[in-house]
Structure 1
Amino acid sequence: MPQTFQLIISGQVQGVGFRPFVYQLARKLDLKGSVCNNENGVLILINASRERAVEFLNAVLEKAPEASIVQSHSILETDQLQFDDFQITTSKTLHQIDIPLTPDFAICESCKTEIRDTSDSRFGYPFTTCTNCGPRYAITTKFPFEREHTTVASFQMCASCQEEYSNPADRRFHSQTNSCAECGIRLWLTSASGEPVSVVRSELLKKTSGLISDGNIIAIKNTNGYLLCCDAGNKAVIERLRGKKQRPAKPFALLYPSLERVKNNFELNSAEEQALLSPVAPIVILNPKDEIKGLEQESIAPGLGQLGVMLPSSALLTLLMDELQAPIIATSGNMHGSPIISSEKEAVGKLSEVADYFLHHNLEISFPQDDSVIRFAGEQQIMLRRSRGSAPNYMGRSYSGKKKVLAMGAHLKSSFAFVPNSHTYVSPYFGNLDSYDVSERLKKNIHQFIQLFQTLPEVVLIDSHPQYQSSVLGRELSKVWNAELIPVQHHKAHFASVLGEHGLFDSKEKILGVVWDGTGFGEDAAIWGGEFFSYDNYEMKRLDHFEYVDWLAADKMAKEPRLSLLAMLPEEERGLARGKFSETEWKVYTKMLEGNKLKTSSVGRLFDAVASLLDTVDIASYEGQAAMLLENRAGDCKGDGCIDFLEGVAYETIPSKKLIKNIWKAKEAGVSKAHIAHSFIHTLALAVLKMAKQGGYSIIACSGGVFQNALLVEKLVKLAEKAKADLKFNRILSSNDENVSFGQLAYYQHIKK
């Protein structure tokens, strides 16, 4: 009689069609046994000789479903069991859950074909999914990933869907999100006042398309939350949306009907094309070929030369775009600064003054998420917002330890990281915790995770800034749970996030950490943001920084680049900024400078100062606007011959005021503003390599929001090649404050205290 072997496959293996795949492979190889989900992933039992069992395991690993990510596997002989055939059995959970949460997957090509085929039973069904695509994390309520553990459970499968689900030869065999027009999710259209729009079900998306074309704003509930949509070629409706959403200048994302249309309008490299077509289906920042006919580019992204573009992530959006055949605005369904909305009640309550119509559906969303956003510097991926399709798993090396850890992250661009088992979970982006709604969403998601994993944290990590809302909440939760509370300095967490992503904690070589951002509470009570660190043998030390300048008017400084310019001008040159202030403002701010004690080394504020100096922007309407506009202006520079504004200057602490003074001189000498902006970024890149050379570093790890600047990254990559330096950037995670939670965790696990 053959032996019985137990195979356990761990990683992203639930909700990706792994069990149907194993079933079909086992039947093909005439093996008897069973497969089920369990707390560790997928559990397979087979009757076979050891040789055949190993052959089967190798075949499973080699041919695993495309959406799966196998992190570990094991095989061992177990008590002999008798099997008459091979079956998919009910999931077994005997211990604490120890598996990744499967992210949402964009609609696959097979499902697209079906919803467009008039002879197919799913023709026009806007919630068509299969084992390879559809919402996963967004609809999860419990583990393991079974239909009854999702919000799709409230839809009873009809006989036809049940037949597909039960048929091993069908592509929807054991597809947990299976549904159709007869038994599935219902879609309906209403006016802003809640009045139903009378239209037959098959005409709903055609009607919605017509309303968009006629200049209306439609709030559309996608499978991850509401989107506010309007015609991207209608300036009046775009400006109306800006006014109602309270978003005067921040760029909007575009939803395109097809890759072909994107290629017609944008320069697209292979990495960008691959990203657009990936299961993540993110917003990708692209360069237009020229002025795009029929697109209001300046209204969509004021002052910017690039546009954020995505392809439909769901059957619903695919069908809508098939009707429209033209790009539309598709921005998060929320008021500016608030989290994305996912419930009908909240959408109507908060967006009825924004949207003219609502397209609702009755699938509950457990975890609402914004669309992920990425850009590229050549082939180097820069994650701008990690959310739908990417979160909440961290699929790199594990940062688990003996204790259960919750890392609370930062205040802006907040996220949390949780280690309840041997896996690391990094939440999607939430936003600015100054917003009560964002803070409540963060809190709710933390409690949802604790419920999902049935685990309370034993350690809570917080930012060392005592007034960050994430730190305040972390202190409260640590008391409730009687958990150890540990603060981690903001910029050290940034540095640790890159070391963690690249597995560099065991490096035999010392590493230079370059962390540049807007703000972070420093260990000397100054506002850090232009830092150089050294990592060597599990110790992290601050080496140097940008010159300290005055921090003015608290948070107002981050919103008014003119204040950064005033603070960074040498005292004898401050009059150069006089024209940017009223008489009263000038008296107030110059008085503040006389007695100011708070200092900053922030490179984010340095970007602001240069943007103001070049008359690009003096008062910003959204975070990062000055830096984005400055990068855009730098992109207008034609030709080489960049100026090093610190050429010949010997320094350890980078002299910000000298840099500003030299830029002013170049402006007065008639150098073009585009050339100055380009040269400023070039000077910063040179400074990184100079610091590395002075300290004898060959590995350079860069993090912080400043490194979302593609031009800076491109320049660093070119300079590093010449210098034979090894550059490391955040790639899985955003370089901005979204990575702080993961960095706190990595720091806690590896740095000697």
Structure 2
Amino acid sequence: MLKTYKITVAGQVQGVGFRPYIYTLSTEFNLKGTVSNNQEGVLVNVTGTKENIDKFYSKLIHFPPPVANIQKSKIIEIEHVLFDDFKIISSKKNGQLNLPLTPDFAICDDCKNEIKNSKNKRFNYPFTTCVNCGPRFAVTENFPFERSNTSIHNFLMCDDCMEEYTNPANRRFHSQTNTCSTCGIELVLINAEGIAIKTSKNTVFQKVASLLQEGNIVAIKNTSGYLLCCNGENTEVIQKLREKKHRPKKPFAVLFPSLKKLQKEFFISEKEIESLTSKESPITIISSKNYNGNLALNEITPNLNQLGVLLPYTGILQLLANELNFPIVATSGNIHGSPIISENDEAFEKLENVADYFLQHNLKITHPQDDSVVKFSSNFQQKILFRRSRGFAPNYFGTAIKTIEKILAMGADLKSSFTFYPNNYLYASQYIGNLENFDIYNRYITEIASFINIFEQQPEVILVDKHPLYHSTKYGIELAKKTSSKLVEIQHHKAHFSAILGEHNLFEEKVLGVVFDGTGFGDDNQIWGGEFFSYKNNVIERIAQIENFDWILGNKMAKEPRLSLFSLASDEMIDVLVQKFTSTELKNYQYLKKNNQLKTSSVGRLFDAVASLLNITDYNSYEGEAAILLENSIGNYDLKNCKNYLNSTDVISVNEIISAIYKEIQQGNSTKNMITNFLFTLATSILNIAKKHQFKHIACSGGVFQNTTLVDMLLELAPKEIKLYFHKELSPNDENISFGQLMYYLHIKN
């Protein structure tokens, strides 16, 4: 007897080949009916025998398309309908959007093979995609995910593409991003004067490769924004790029033509290979120790023994890679500190004095995104996200939320993101940047407006950081007035702690929260940054902190590690200070210190002080440089030989740590040993506090926990009865503040 069932599937199920997959599956089980996208996911009405429908449903749920992510599904019997066949029908939007947005996917192997096959119609076509790969969020204008709701709707499919789109046996059956060289997106290569360079579709990438080989800088418009590229083996052009981009020392990422070529030059762990070849394909930071190849390592990553690498993840980059026999620098297309550029006119205006050539196309990018960045710790291969953007954003799965309120969390300022809860799903935006920059602030506002428009929901609750001068806070206050929303202030470090609690769903446990970062406005109006919290029964309490020291000269302190050392230096260290400050500076700063009322517990500034004391750096040319250089100086370590710089387990005295290091410098101890001891001291202090307060769960957040050596030490030192939690799906830095604000609002009572 034939029956009819209605099946609804929710989650990341649009733009992933879900409807074509269901169509094929219906044929396998001899079923008839319809499948469509709607505002909540995928809707299937199917008629057949109950046995076949059960098998169909089971396979659908347990073996979905490779890039799908099913969050929930439901099957119910409905009134019998007699269908003639099985059809994919046009999506109908009967309400507001209630499903995840689809992130961008790296080019799949099938598409890679097609664009290098001279007999294939997509030979050398850089915008080749299928149901399993290609841009999604980057081109989204509205939802459901139909071609008409993306910027690709400007390109009408030719007859051949339409044949693929309507052919159930084709991999591009109902592929919304389907185009080819006949009907699709067009590339143009121009020079810095705006004059087009004559090339054909079959020679353009040969020409770009030749320009790179010759020592030119080429701005390449990728599918999520511009990249500035140059020959990674040419020291002169890399220095030229640094000067023009105003990026004196911050490391560049390097694109290798293939995994095979990368493995010839570096050792890559299995976890790193998985990351580089994943559907997200982030920049992955690897060790560059003992490198003897031709890469200009010192110019690419000055004074570091690590390197951010990536593999081609779009057709544009793959076709370029096919013409390269050398790695290239591939860094965000912007002037340092500004947002990644995605529009052709803006690129030419702002980068004409940086790039020698521009490879542009006419696809509109609606959501520009930087490349995501991942690193794995050396000993335990703990995954740490340094930047969560392309490929990961804008969805967040893994935490159940029970509220009917529409909530917008504004995040922090330095590494800004926002988190929106407008329906049954949580949306954590891509990394946006430092809101002190006017263009980044405008990008931040534009992205928030875009999300509100896509979901057709105004926030009812707006969450902001307690810092009164944060641009995110000021805009949140402005937006709350405009939308008549409830405004809630949440302390920065409690948001960090709530973020790690939320990521690991620890709200039923008793947890020690360790939040180490640079700065955050504290409940006592001081500058926090080295905090220990207890969580139990939905209450957070601050139970300990790194010992306070003087906060002087505001934000200048984060830019000059020598100022942190000055704040912590005892009188006996005058011999060190006179080498770092003029007599006038010493006099003025001593006066400021003597009359200073503002204190800090910042572990970030403690790292700066140690770096300055050890003569590693006195000035940060980019955020966190001192801390990165500190970790870089260690190499391998043996915990058996490590020394704790603190005599007491009750107080984490920063002055005691600095004094101990100063004495060891005089005794001639090696820099490597002193840095290792410093990290060992911090790790031991964390475990001592957990032991003192009888915690079995320790959750760590804050930018300091991007230090993979500290993470490895904690994992190695922790006794079996203690479980450690680190961020895996979110960055430990301020990118997670917006998510943490939302978790705090939903779960914390105080």
Cα deviation code 1:336-376 (max 9, x no counterpart): 10010000011011010100000000000000000000000
Who is 1:475 aligned against?
A: 477
Equivalent AA in structure 2 for residue 429 of structure 1:
Y
Displacement after TM superposition at 1:640 (Å): 5.4
1:694 aligns with 2:696: no
Equivalent AA in structure 2 for residue 409 of structure 1:
G
* SS of residue in 1 equivalent to 2:143: coil
Displacement after TM superposition at 1:651 (Å): 3.7
- 8 Å CA contact 1:383, 1:734 repeated in 2: yes
Cα deviation code 1:316-344 (max 9, x no counterpart): 10010110121100000001100100000
- Hey, what's the Cα distance between the residues in 1 that align with 2:481 and 2:575? 51
Aligned counterpart in structure 2 of residue 735 of structure 1, from 701, 717, 732: 732
What number of residue pairs does the alignment pair up?
Answer: 748
Q: Any residues of structure 2 matched to 1:185-200 within 5 Å, and which?
A: 185-200=185-200
Q: Any residues of structure 2 matched to 1:280-295 within 5 Å, and which?
A: 280-288=280-288, 290-295=290-295
Cα deviation code 1:701-737 (max 9, x no counterpart): 00000000010111111111x3531000111000000
Who is 2:461 aligned against?
A: 459
Q: Any residues of structure 2 matched to 1:299-448 within 5 Å, and which?
A: 299-377=299-377, 378-399=380-401, 401-448=403-450
Equivalent AA in structure 2 for residue 291 of structure 1:
Y
Q: Any residues of structure 2 matched to 1:585-734 within 5 Å, and which?
A: 585-635=585-635, 641-646=641-646, 649-720=647-718, 722-734=719-731
- 8 Å CA contact 2:29, 2:53 repeated in 1: no
Displacement after TM superposition at 1:638 (Å): 7.8
* SS of residue in 2 equivalent to 1:473: helix
Displacement after TM superposition at 1:299 (Å): 0.4
Cα deviation code 1:675-723 (max 9, x no counterpart): 1111111111111111111111110000000000010111111111x35
> TM-score, with normalisation over the residues of structure 2?
0.98
Q: Any residues of structure 2 matched to 1:100-139 within 5 Å, and which?
A: 100-139=100-139
Displacement after TM superposition at 1:426 (Å): 0.3
Equivalent AA in structure 2 for residue 35 of structure 1:
V
- 8 Å CA contact 2:30, 2:52 repeated in 1: no
* SS of residue in 2 equivalent to 1:220: strand
- Hey, what's the Cα distance between the residues in 1 that align with 2:639 and 2:669? 14
Who is 1:68 aligned against?
A: 68
- 8 Å CA contact 1:265, 1:288 repeated in 2: no
**Range moving further from structure 2, 577-586 or 623-632:** 577-586
- Hey, what's the Cα distance between the residues in 1 that align with 2:724 and 2:528? 22
Closer, same or farther: CA 603–639 of 1 in aligned 2, 3 Å: closer
Who is 1:752 aligned against?
A: 749
**Range moving further from structure 2, 60-69 or 245-254:** 60-69
Who is 1:179 aligned against?
A: 179
1:248 aligns with 2:248: yes
Who is 1:169 aligned against?
A: 169
Displacement after TM superposition at 1:53 (Å): 2.7
- 8 Å CA contact 2:649, 2:685 repeated in 1: no
- 8 Å CA contact 1:399, 1:746 repeated in 2: no
**Range moving further from structure 2, 399-408 or 109-118:** 399-408
- Hey, what's the Cα distance between the residues in 2 that align with 1:311 and 1:292? 21
- 8 Å CA contact 1:224, 1:342 repeated in 2: yes
- Hey, what's the Cα distance between the residues in 1 that align with 2:37 and 2:578? 68
- Hey, what's the Cα distance between the residues in 1 that align with 2:79 and 2:340? 51
Who is 1:498 aligned against?
A: 500
Equivalent AA in structure 2 for residue 563 of structure 1:
L
Equivalent AA in structure 2 for residue 504 of structure 1:
L
Cα deviation code 1:420-448 (max 9, x no counterpart): 00000000001111000010000000000
Who is 1:236 aligned against?
A: 236
Cα deviation code 1:501-556 (max 9, x no counterpart): 0011122xx11000000000000011000000000011000011000000010000
- 8 Å CA contact 1:634, 1:676 repeated in 2: no
> TM-score, with normalisation over the residues of structure 1?
0.98
Q: Any residues of structure 2 matched to 1:575-590 within 5 Å, and which?
A: 576-590=576-590
Equivalent AA in structure 2 for residue 524 of structure 1:
D
Who is 1:24 aligned against?
A: 24
> Unmatched 5+ residue regions in structure 2?
none
Displacement after TM superposition at 1:150 (Å): 0.6
Cα deviation code 1:385-438 (max 9, x no counterpart): 000000000011233521000000001110000000000000000111100001
Q: Which runs of 4+ in 1 moved over 4 A?
A: 636-640
**Range moving further from structure 2, 198-207 or 703-712:** 198-207
Who is 2:43 aligned against?
A: 43
Closer, same or farther: CA 619–636 of 1 in aligned 2, 3 Å: farther
Q: Any residues of structure 2 matched to 1:44-59 within 5 Å, and which?
A: 44-59=44-59
- Hey, what's the Cα distance between the residues in 2 that align with 1:549 and 1:144? 53
* SS of residue in 2 equivalent to 1:580: coil
* SS of residue in 1 equivalent to 2:271: helix
Displacement after TM superposition at 1:78 (Å): 2.2
Equivalent AA in structure 2 for residue 737 of structure 1:
D
Equivalent AA in structure 1 for residue 217 of structure 2:
I
* SS of residue in 1 equivalent to 2:543: strand
Displacement after TM superposition at 1:251 (Å): 0.2
- 8 Å CA contact 1:400, 1:419 repeated in 2: no
Displacement after TM superposition at 1:269 (Å): 1.3
- Hey, what's the Cα distance between the residues in 1 that align with 2:122 and 2:200? 17
Displacement after TM superposition at 1:574 (Å): 4.7
- Hey, what's the Cα distance between the residues in 1 that align with 2:410 and 2:176? 32
- Hey, what's the Cα distance between the residues in 1 that align with 2:2 and 2:631? 67
- 8 Å CA contact 1:415, 1:738 repeated in 2: yes
CA RMSD between the two structures: 1.2
Displacement after TM superposition at 1:40 (Å): 1.1
Cα deviation code 1:64-112 (max 9, x no counterpart): 1010011100011223322111110011211211100010000000001
- 8 Å CA contact 1:457, 1:483 repeated in 2: yes
* SS of residue in 1 equivalent to 2:6: strand
- 8 Å CA contact 1:636, 1:674 repeated in 2: no
Displacement after TM superposition at 1:264 (Å): 1.4
- Hey, what's the Cα distance between the residues in 2 that align with 1:639 and 1:556? 35
